[in-house]
Chains A and B, each alone.
Chain A
Amino acid sequence: MTDLALLLSFTVLAMVVIAGVLAARRARLWRVGRAAKVDWAAGLLALPKRYLVDVHHVVGRDAYAARMHALAAGGLLAGSGLALLGLIPALGDARLYWWLTALAFAAAFAGGGMVGRRRYPTKPARLSGGRFQLLPFLLAAYTGGGFLVALDASLGGALWPLGWAGLAVAALGGLGLALQIDRGPMRHAFAGAAHLVAHPRPGRFKGERATALAPLDLDAPRLGVALPEEFAFNRLIGFDACIQCGRCEVACPAFAAGQPLNPKRLIQDLAASLQPGGTNAAYAGSPYPNARPVAGIGGPGLPIVGEGAMIHPDTLWSCTTCRACVEECPMMIEHVDAILDLRRFQTLELGAMPARAAAPLMELRYADEPGGRPLTSRTDFAAGLTLPLISAKGEAEILLWLGEGAYELRYGRTLRALVTLLHKAKVDFAVLGAEERDCGDLARRLGDEAGFQRLAAENIATLSRYRFSRILTADPHALHALRNEYRAFGGTYEVVHHTAFLDELAAAGRLSIGALDQARITYHDPCYLGRYNGEVDAPRRLLDRLGIARLEMERSGKRSMCCGGGGGAPVSDIEGERRIPDIRMSQAAATGAGIVAVACPQCSSMLEGVTGARPAVHDIAELVLMAVEKADAAPARPVEVPA
């Protein structure tokens, strides 16, 4: 073993010690968070799989980034590990061992080069600058220097002048990297690993969608989150895991619309609030679009939200809860949960929801309906159709949950189409009629957990009086609430979306479907069906049965873009530069399709609200009815739903 190699090993040892001290100091800050139930043993055991499979699955969507990260991180860890183990005489004396070490450093150097290539000469807007721009140089110095020292050692000291130069550079770069561990880009390395172990939604690594919001204990002394220490500790770890890659900001519909929300900045502001005396000054990525001025100071014991704090309330209320940021995040950070925790405090403790959101919540409280409309008129859309009431029948195979869309004239046409199809397929179904209350989705997303829990309890009590085998709904928000969120309150139901149900009927031959002439159709995935519930295949299968050419938009499936209608965003109505549905509609128009197929009342009304020349908007149920009426040899009456 050469002296140089020994010195390199000591350099790595010094790096490890420095990084360890800094990381421990940061990790101590996490302890201010609330307790949370974490299965440490299972998490630790699952870490390699979570990292190599689940994280890689997301990172790998950008092949360049995946290769870059594999080389840089893999090479860095392997090279440093080998150099450190070189202190063991049996290993350090073998020339082949140093040759291997040199190889690892060379790989890391190549990765560092890729990091640099990505950031220079021009840095993509989604990547952060500041300390991050220094990263390729530190990586190159450390790994390049390490390579020279290891190469020299593998040749028995033949290249000693190069080796000395290498050692000096490696020490400089290595210490620079180690000092980045608590605040700089390297923080994601240890915080990310800890986040994967203690992830607040471990189900996400087991193939579950795991998207239901956690219920809030309404008897807790304080509701929601106002201070950094009111987040659970594993949520705080999650904020520190962010590497500021900016994939979330690219996916965020509110960011695209120029509303003051940038998920990346939000997470950075939350991470900065954990630091005593923290400010948002170090952040060097894209700002909140049209940012409202805030003081930008925080720390444990200081509020997070407010004009004198880190995050402006408008930022919170811009979110449509579409989960696109969560879906794109390679570190599996839960942005939407954080926003909801903050919203809960604003709504439940302060009553500080946006002015226009107060009225629907009040109507929900006294009329069980956000528009204050009579529950008896929910079935008005079906005038002239037979709509069996379950209170009259007592039991039915399918309970049809109508949802809020039933009050709306446009969506009423969709529900008429669905009811007509159910009659044609001779399905034994019934509706709750005036006994159906709002499912509580709006209240919950606006932070009114008390309102949601009351509605959930009352709906569960109503449902328990009747016998049915499945709930059918055309509203993915109701579907998500009934299927996933009522479970925590004792309501377990098999809930099926109308697209999946119609697909089932068609597959069983209970609907005879003709071919539609409208050749070009694109399908817009509702967030609460696709991303929240993973149902992206059934609607497409059903559309393919209609004899049409199905075109895919630039963003589709689980990575689809929101219509802007979720999370109470239409009632919060935070000002931006553009409207989210306009952006989505331009993506639909870009496919050249003549029809946008939708499967959600919110999407339907948001996209129908787009002005100007654009593709027509039709719910899949309407398209299926058109096809079924085509198949009927001699239609008894004119086609009900216009093409």
Chain B
Amino acid sequence: MRIAVLLSAGRHSVSGRPAPVPVELQALRLAVDLANQCGGQSGCDVTGLHAGPELGPLADTLGHGLGHLVHLRTEGAADPAPALAAALEAGGYDLILAGRAGQGGEDAGLLPYTLARGLAWPILADAAGLAPGEAPGTLSVEQALGRGARRRLVVRLPALVTVHPAAPPPLPFAFAGLRRGRVEMREAPPAPAVAPEVEERAYRPRPKLIAKAAAGASALERLRAATEAASGGGRLLVDPAPDEAAREILAHLRALGLPTR
């Protein structure tokens, strides 16, 4: 299995200095563990990919278990997506791992979706664990849901999977790994700068999402109201038939007063 891990130019959350993004290091660990499980078969490797003007401390990812890092050098503000998409397409990867979102300041976490759309690959969000699927060419993904819940899904490869911070911690940094690892620099073809797709809208008051207890209610009632609102309500259906699931969703939407035809 050939695995690519997307690495973005992050910043340390406190010092603001360039640093690898922790959740991407966790993705790297999942990739390395998965590659180790394939038991030394040939064609089983992990490559790190970064598109950006410079590598900076991303070279440190070599110390976290990565053997081969490809740096696609782009111009300052150029959109990294085309360069990455081209490299991913040419690389013949079976699995692409990315962090849930970068940590560079303005990372929206949309890049994996852009890439998946460009490659026409399925994308699966918030993996906390990966294992080879039972059928060849599949991957079993443990998906992190809210409140520590987990859901096991099986995807057919190739696929793009983003990793959740609930995944196991990164492999510890080993300085010698940084010396051993290989960095490959490729010039990326010039790409337009990221178009700022910003839309201005007038401010409108939003409804409060937290249910309010009646004024003057006791602390316990206020707490109950707040926590019950967060707990969502609804009914849990395990493995329902598609028709039944659709009916339930429509019934729920009607109950909320949303117009349905």
Nearest CB of chain A from residue B57's CB, rounded to whole Å: 7
- Give every chain B residue within 8 A of A353 (Cβ-Cβ): 172
Tell me if B169 is interfacial: C-beta within 8 Å of chain A.
yes
- Give every chain B residue within 8 A of A451 (Cβ-Cβ): 175
Tell me if B152 is interfacial: C-beta within 8 Å of chain A.
no
Tell me if A61 is interfacial: C-beta within 8 Å of chain B.
no
- Give every chain A residue within 8 A of B170 (Cβ-Cβ): 358, 362
Contact stretch, chosen from B11-19, B142-150, B190-198, B205-213: B11-19
Tell me if B157 is interfacial: C-beta within 8 Å of chain A.
no
Contact between B57 and A366, CB atoms less than 8 A apart: yes
Nearest CB of chain B from residue A222's CB, rounded to whole Å: 8
Please report the C-alpha to C-alpha distance between residue A366 and residue B63 in the assembled complex, in whole angstroms. 14
Kindly identify which residue among A348, A374, A450 contacts B15, using a CB–CB cutoff of 8 Å: A374
Contact between B60 and A365, CB atoms less than 8 A apart: yes
Number of A-B contacts (CB under 8 A): 64
- Give every chain B residue within 8 A of A448 (Cβ-Cβ): 175
Interface residues of B in 124-177 (CB under 8 A from A): 169-177
Please report the C-alpha to C-alpha distance between residue A448 and residue B12 in the assembled complex, in whole angstroms. 20
Nearest CB of chain B from residue A462's CB, rounded to whole Å: 15
- Give every chain B residue within 8 A of A355 (Cβ-Cβ): 169, 172
Tell me if A361 is interfacial: C-beta within 8 Å of chain B.
yes
Kindly identify which residue among B13, B14, B173 contacts A361, using a CB–CB cutoff of 8 Å: B173
Contact between A367 and B17, CB atoms less than 8 A apart: yes
Chain B minimum-CB-distance residue to A448? B175
Please report the C-alpha to C-alpha distance between residue A222 and residue B57 in the assembled complex, in whole angstroms. 22
Contact between A366 and B15, CB atoms less than 8 A apart: yes
Kindly identify which residue among A218, A358, A365, A449 contacts B169, using a CB–CB cutoff of 8 Å: A358
Choose among A350, A372, A448, A450 the residue with the greatest number of B CB atoms under 10 Å from its CB.
Answer: A450
Contact between A361 and B172, CB atoms less than 8 A apart: yes
Nearest CB of chain B from residue A34's CB, rounded to whole Å: 17
Please report the C-alpha to C-alpha distance between residue A6 and residue B224 in the assembled complex, in whole angstroms. 102
Contact between A373 and B14, CB atoms less than 8 A apart: yes
Contact between B173 and A365, CB atoms less than 8 A apart: yes
1/0 per residue, CB under 8 A from B, across A366-378: the answer is: 1111001111000
Are A367 and B172 CB-contacts (below 8 A) given A351-B63, A351-B177?
Answer: no
- Give every chain A residue within 8 A of B17 (Cβ-Cβ): 366-367
Interface residues of B in 18-52 (CB under 8 A from A): 19
Tell me if A211 is interfacial: C-beta within 8 Å of chain B.
no
Interface residues of A in 330-387 (CB under 8 A from B): 347-353, 355, 357-359, 361-362, 365-369, 372-375
Please report the C-alpha to C-alpha distance between residue A530 and residue B170 in the assembled complex, in whole angstroms. 38
Contact between B173 and A368, CB atoms less than 8 A apart: no
Contact between A349 and B172, CB atoms less than 8 A apart: no
Please report the C-alpha to C-alpha distance between residue A359 and residue B171 in the assembled complex, in whole angstroms. 10
Tell me if A223 is interfacial: C-beta within 8 Å of chain B.
yes
Contact between A450 and B169, CB atoms less than 8 A apart: no
Contact between A223 and B14, CB atoms less than 8 A apart: no
Q: Is the interface of A mostly helix, strand, loop or mixed?
A: helix
Please report the C-alpha to C-alpha distance between residue A159 and residue B171 in the assembled complex, in whole angstroms. 77
Please report the C-alpha to C-alpha distance between residue A451 and residue B19 in the assembled complex, in whole angstroms. 15
- Give every chain B residue within 8 A of A361 (Cβ-Cβ): 172-173
Please report the C-alpha to C-alpha distance between residue A365 and residue B170 in the assembled complex, in whole angstroms. 15
Please report the C-alpha to C-alpha distance between residue A347 and residue B169 in the assembled complex, in whole angstroms. 17
Please report the C-alpha to C-alpha distance between residue A374 and residue B17 in the assembled complex, in whole angstroms. 11
Contact between B172 and A352, CB atoms less than 8 A apart: yes
1/0 per residue, CB under 8 A from A, across B50-81: the answer is: 00000001001001110000000000000000
Nearest CB of chain B from residue A340's CB, rounded to whole Å: 15
- Give every chain A residue within 8 A of B177 (Cβ-Cβ): 351
Nearest CB of chain B from residue A586's CB, rounded to whole Å: 35
Nearest CB of chain B from residue A161's CB, rounded to whole Å: 71
- Give every chain B residue within 8 A of A350 (Cβ-Cβ): 174
Contact between B171 and A351, CB atoms less than 8 A apart: yes
- Give every chain B residue within 8 A of A374 (Cβ-Cβ): 14-15
Contact between A223 and B173, CB atoms less than 8 A apart: no
Q: Is the interface of B mostly helix, strand, loop or mixed?
A: loop
- Give every chain B residue within 8 A of A223 (Cβ-Cβ): 175-176
Nearest CB of chain A from residue B94's CB, rounded to whole Å: 26
Please report the C-alpha to C-alpha distance between residue A362 and residue B173 in the assembled complex, in whole angstroms. 7
Are A348 and B60 CB-contacts (below 8 A) given A366-B15, A367-B15?
Answer: no
Please report the C-alpha to C-alpha distance between residue A195 and residue B207 in the assembled complex, in whole angstroms. 80
Kindly identify which residue among A218, A222, A349, A367 contacts B12, using a CB–CB cutoff of 8 Å: A367
- Give every chain B residue within 8 A of A349 (Cβ-Cβ): 174-176
- Give every chain A residue within 8 A of B171 (Cβ-Cβ): 351
Are A366 and B172 CB-contacts (below 8 A) given A351-B63, A351-B177?
Answer: no
Choose among B63, B169, B173 the residue with the greatest number of A CB atoms under 10 Å from its CB.
Answer: B173
Please report the C-alpha to C-alpha distance between residue A253 and residue B175 in the assembled complex, in whole angstroms. 30
Chain A minimum-CB-distance residue to B60? A365
Chain B minimum-CB-distance residue to A348? B175
Contact between A351 and B172, CB atoms less than 8 A apart: yes
Chain B minimum-CB-distance residue to A345? B176
- Give every chain A residue within 8 A of B173 (Cβ-Cβ): 351, 358, 361-362, 365
Nearest CB of chain B from residue A445's CB, rounded to whole Å: 16
Nearest CB of chain A from residue B185's CB, rounded to whole Å: 22
Please report the C-alpha to C-alpha distance between residue A218 and residue B179 in the assembled complex, in whole angstroms. 10
- Give every chain B residue within 8 A of A375 (Cβ-Cβ): 15
- Give every chain A residue within 8 A of B64 (Cβ-Cβ): 351
Nearest CB of chain A from residue B180's CB, rounded to whole Å: 9
Please report the C-alpha to C-alpha distance between residue A256 and residue B169 in the assembled complex, in whole angstroms. 33
- Give every chain B residue within 8 A of A348 (Cβ-Cβ): 174-176
Please report the C-alpha to C-alpha distance between residue A355 and residue B168 in the assembled complex, in whole angstroms. 11
- Give every chain B residue within 8 A of A449 (Cβ-Cβ): 175
Chain A minimum-CB-distance residue to B18? A366
Contact between B19 and A366, CB atoms less than 8 A apart: yes
- Give every chain A residue within 8 A of B65 (Cβ-Cβ): 351
Please report the C-alpha to C-alpha distance between residue A365 and residue B177 in the assembled complex, in whole angstroms. 15
Contact between B12 and A450, CB atoms less than 8 A apart: no
Contact between B63 and A372, CB atoms less than 8 A apart: no
1/0 per residue, CB under 8 A from B, across A280-324: the answer is: 000000000000000000000000000000000000000000000
Contact between B14 and A450, CB atoms less than 8 A apart: no
- Give every chain A residue within 8 A of B175 (Cβ-Cβ): 218, 223, 347-349, 448-451
Kindly identify which residue among B15, B57, B172 contacts A368, using a CB–CB cutoff of 8 Å: B15
Chain B minimum-CB-distance residue to A350? B174
Please report the C-alpha to C-alpha distance between residue A22 and residue B13 in the assembled complex, in whole angstroms. 62
Please report the C-alpha to C-alpha distance between residue A358 and residue B22 in the assembled complex, in whole angstroms. 13
Nearest CB of chain A from residue B235's CB, rounded to whole Å: 40
Nearest CB of chain B from residue A43's CB, rounded to whole Å: 34
13 CB < 8 A contacts A-B: A348-B176, A351-B64, A351-B65, A351-B177, A358-B170, A362-B173, A365-B19, A366-B15, A366-B17, A367-B12, A367-B14, A367-B15, A372-B13
Given contacts A350-B174, A352-B172, 7 further A-B contacts (CB under 8 A): A347-B172, A347-B175, A351-B65, A351-B177, A358-B169, A358-B172, A359-B169
3 smallest beta-carbon distances between A and B, as pairs: A351-B174, A358-B172, A366-B19
